[in-house]
Structure 1
Amino acid sequence: MSTNKLYHITLSEPAFRTRHVMGSSYGWLITADERSNLILVNPVTRAQIAMPPPETMNNVRLRYTEDGVLDGYDVLYMDLFSRDFDTEMEPYHLTLEEARFYLYARVVLSCDPSHGNCTVLVVQLPKDQLSYTRVGDTKWTWIDANPNCWAYQHILYNNNDGLFYGVRGMGEVDSIDLNEPSAEVKVILKPIISYQAHSRYIVQAPWGDFFQIWRHDKYNKENGITDRVADKFYVYKIDFVKQKLVETNNIQDHAIFIGYNSSFMLPVKDFSTLIPNSIYHTDDLLDYIFCQRSSLRQAVVFNMKDSSFIELSPPSSDSRLNWPPSVWIQPSLT
């Protein structure tokens, strides 16, 4: 968007068209193939880095047919109190391709993965729990630091302190320290409301402040099809000292970018095409993307000053443009 130009990039094998794009971080696209293997892709350098396979996650098992043919994955429920499997709950029975929509609801990196020592943190279903790995590792590690390590809606990495941050369903925020052999999770913002509502995001400003963005949706029905689209965004500055959220419509002439990507903010003065005090949002409604892959994907700009929307993705009759889902990315040449 900084140049207001359209670029076409041809990526090397393995094939990209069939992958699900569930994020971007440090200039890399975070993708999953039809077997639900997680692959990091730099669209500029065309480098690709494979993560450990899904079956190395603590709650994932390979499933085979009676003839011994690999048929899918069984995803088990994990009990954070006993730190073991919940045997009373029926596992999710997923095809090889379906698992990517459940295991990688959110993905964020700690740094450019080509630099080494990169940690990859994911929010996974069921119950929106956390697992992580590092580039070069052979398996994923489940985070069971305390019984409340679940219901995460959005995560980010803070370069200033080397910690991950996660916002949960009732507005609470946790810090997640993965620098030691055992994960350490601390509540740094207590629950704000007593119920789970809206979709929540967390973003860090260049000057250090943290913000929560709450997305409110509405339902549009046309030609017998119901679409769920963003209707309004609420932006709150997080006051960790006073343990509260302060609503604001001023982010110092910056623009917020949210969706499947790792959230970020850019100064409008450096990018003439951007609108100040606005939110750039791409569709990340996982249930609709999973169930209606050919449906139109929403990409909008929300003006915080007057609550108006600008559509960035005009309706198209070419459903191929809706898959993979669009995602914001800050290109990296490394």
Structure 2
Amino acid sequence: MTATRELVGAAERTPGPGWSDLPGDLLESVLGRLPLTDRLRFPAVCTGWRSAAAVSAALVQAVGVQSPWLMLPFNPTAHGQMQHASVSTCSEARFLSLDDGRTYGIPQPAPAVSDRLCIGSSPDGWLVTADAASELHLLNPLTRVQVQLPPPTTLPFVHARHAADGRVVSYSIQCCFDDDGNGGDGDAAVVVPSESFALDRLRFELYEKAILVSAPRKRQTGSWDGYAVMLICQPLSRLAIARAGDSRWTLLDTPSRRWVDAVRASSAVGAGGRQLVYALDSAGRVEAWDVDATTPTREAVAPACCCCSGRACSMSGACGRYLVELSPGRLLQVHRLREAAHARYRCEPRPERVEYTTVDAELFEWTDDGRWNPLDGKNAGVLSGHALFLGKNASLCVPVDGCRPELKGNCVYFTDDGPWSHDRCREVAPDVGVLELADGTYRPPRGAARDLLWKWPPPVWVFPSCADD
């Protein structure tokens, strides 16, 4: 018995292999199979795991689109969210994970994330943000990498006023268009007097939506290459594009169209591997833009969608349109219907204080017979295994499978993007939630109700990724 106890004691005193001793290739293999939130925790275990995470960062690629996060508004009353008592600036972004209903705070690079407006996001994990000076940046909020985009003054209708020391102190927008509505070259040009805006105000008036056509790729020199961004911008909802290496935005020649949404096509659609972008105008027409060409070209895809219900037409002021690609070349147009949140009250508040809420969505699929055919959302159909994520920053169809029990098929996940989100986004509660098409119910995302009491920055859907190409 004494000998047995001695052997057991010796075994307990002899250090054996532990979790920190696992081979690096095994750790990398495990890391690639973990959910995103666990990948974030992985480097904190020990130095060995931190090293494995750093080595495998470039190899960890998401399979399809990650389960989306909701980027939450800034809470000025929360402990630690203000750097200074008198200045509401915060360097930490907060995200609600739909996987587990938990909130995660992630430090971000300057400028402060609480001063940024997000106008675009992509399934690659990148955001397009506009800071307090209305400058645009590509940002991966998980890896904290950011890339500066060309300044707004490189758009032909945006001008800056400088102080004596060279600082930009305000912007102005001048609108010039042809009164024949056809973008002709005649002498019918009409110039609207310019309007001046404060530095942070320009972003509300100028930027409608940004579409990341291709994600940045890191070069051996450490710089970022290969990216392209399409911008829907005011006045007149024009299209502009900027690619890696560009010092200015290139305005695309569409003076007589009003573009409301765009989505990059699946790679299988582009002939010869060329990247296409589908763009939707306010009449429901769709065109495919070849943005890989030196001078981007376009081709008509679908005519106007004139099949809105009478209810949608009567609500045209509060009806938003979106374009989604269900599968390569298969397009879905979504009409989002809103009504005044206070409509049930006898005494309406002042018009400038009216809030809107989503009440329904109408779906139209572009079919081979050359028509937009309405779909009955109550019977699921094409969306039975998919969820739509729509808003100011993204239009994306996400498959729902057994690995994502938190996502429901035949649902539309919305964030706010009405005109009031520009003018009064710091005052009006955001219209953010999940619309179940089967029964028309609309609710806030699980775990987000309290955070949506705050209003700035406007919440947006994010598709997180730890991998930088």
Q: TM-score, normalised by structure 1?
A: 0.90
Shift of residue 286 of structure 1? 3.8
State the match for 1:252 in structure 2. Answer: 384
Shift of residue 194 of structure 1? 9.4
Distance 1:69 1:310, change over 3 A: closer
Shift of residue 102 of structure 1? 2.5
State the match for 2:120 in structure 1. Answer: 23
Aligned partners of 1:36 and 1:54 also within 8 Å: yes
State the match for 1:314 in structure 2. Answer: 449
Paired with 1:291 and 1:155, the residues of 2 have a C-alpha distance of 24
Moved more, 154-163 or 64-73: 64-73
Paired with 1:67 and 1:30, the residues of 2 have a C-alpha distance of 29
Distance 1:276 1:330, change over 3 A: same
Aligned partners of 1:81 and 1:147 also within 8 Å: no
Moved more, 166-175 or 216-225: 216-225
Shift of residue 179 of structure 1? 1.7
- 1:136 and 2:269 matched: no
* Coordinate RMSD, CA, aligned: 2.6
The residue type equivalent to 2:341 in the other structure is N
- 1:50 and 2:148 matched: yes
Aligned partners of 1:131 and 1:140 also within 8 Å: yes
Moved more, 229-238 or 111-120: 111-120
State the match for 1:229 in structure 2. Answer: 357
State the match for 2:330 in structure 1. Answer: 209
Aligned partners of 2:169 and 2:198 also within 8 Å: yes
Tell me the secondary structure at the aligned position of residue 193 of structure 2.
coil
Paired with 1:105 and 1:151, the residues of 2 have a C-alpha distance of 11
Aligned partners of 2:120 and 2:212 also within 8 Å: no
State the match for 1:172 in structure 2. Answer: 285
Tell me the secondary structure at the aligned position of residue 136 of structure 1.
coil
Shift of residue 207 of structure 1? 5.8
Q: TM-score, normalised by structure 2?
A: 0.65
Distance 1:110 1:84, change over 3 A: farther
Moved more, 249-258 or 273-282: 249-258
Paired with 2:417 and 2:364, the residues of 1 have a C-alpha distance of 20
State the match for 1:98 in structure 2. Answer: 201
Paired with 2:187 and 2:167, the residues of 1 have a C-alpha distance of 28
Tell me the secondary structure at the aligned position of residue 155 of structure 1.
strand
Shift of residue 73 of structure 1? 1.5
Tell me the secondary structure at the aligned position of residue 204 of structure 2.
helix
The CA deviation string for residues 102-149 of structure 1, in whole angstroms up to 9 with x for no partner, is 2220100112223522110000111111111012310000001x554x
The CA deviation string for residues 242-285 of structure 1, in whole angstroms up to 9 with x for no partner, is 23233242213211111123221222213101111110111112
Which ranges of structure 2 fall in alignment gaps of 5 or more residues? 1-97, 178-182, 219-224, 343-347
Paired with 1:132 and 1:124, the residues of 2 have a C-alpha distance of 10
The residue type equivalent to 1:184 in the other structure is T
Shift of residue 292 of structure 1? 3.7
Which ranges of structure 1 fall in alignment gaps of 5 or more residues? none
Listed as ranges, the matches of 1:1-334 within 5 Å are 1-25=98-122, 26-64=124-162, 70-79=168-177, 80-82=183-185, 86-114=189-217, 116-144=225-253, 146-148=254-256, 150-160=257-267, 161=270, 162-193=275-306, 197=316, 198-206=319-327, 208-221=329-342, 225-239=353-367, 241-249=369-377, 250=381, 251-269=383-401, 270-312=403-445, 313-314=448-449, 319=454, 322-333=455-466, 334=468
Tell me the secondary structure at the aligned position of residue 460 of structure 2.
coil
Tell me the secondary structure at the aligned position of residue 306 of structure 1.
coil
Identity among equivalent positions (%) equals: 26
Moved more, 180-189 or 212-221: 180-189
The residue type equivalent to 1:262 in the other structure is A
Tell me the secondary structure at the aligned position of residue 205 of structure 2.
helix
Paired with 2:153 and 2:111, the residues of 1 have a C-alpha distance of 20
The residue type equivalent to 1:152 in the other structure is W
Moved more, 27-36 or 261-270: 261-270
Structure possessing the higher radius of gyration over alpha carbons: 2
Moved more, 105-114 or 56-65: 56-65
Tell me the secondary structure at the aligned position of residue 111 of structure 2.
coil
Shift of residue 167 of structure 1? 1.0
Shift of residue 35 of structure 1? 1.1
Shift of residue 49 of structure 1? 0.6
Aligned partners of 2:153 and 2:160 also within 8 Å: yes
Distance 1:9 1:316, change over 3 A: closer
Distance 1:290 1:147, change over 3 A: closer
Greater strand fraction, Structure 1 or Structure 2? 1
- Give the number of aligned pairs: 330
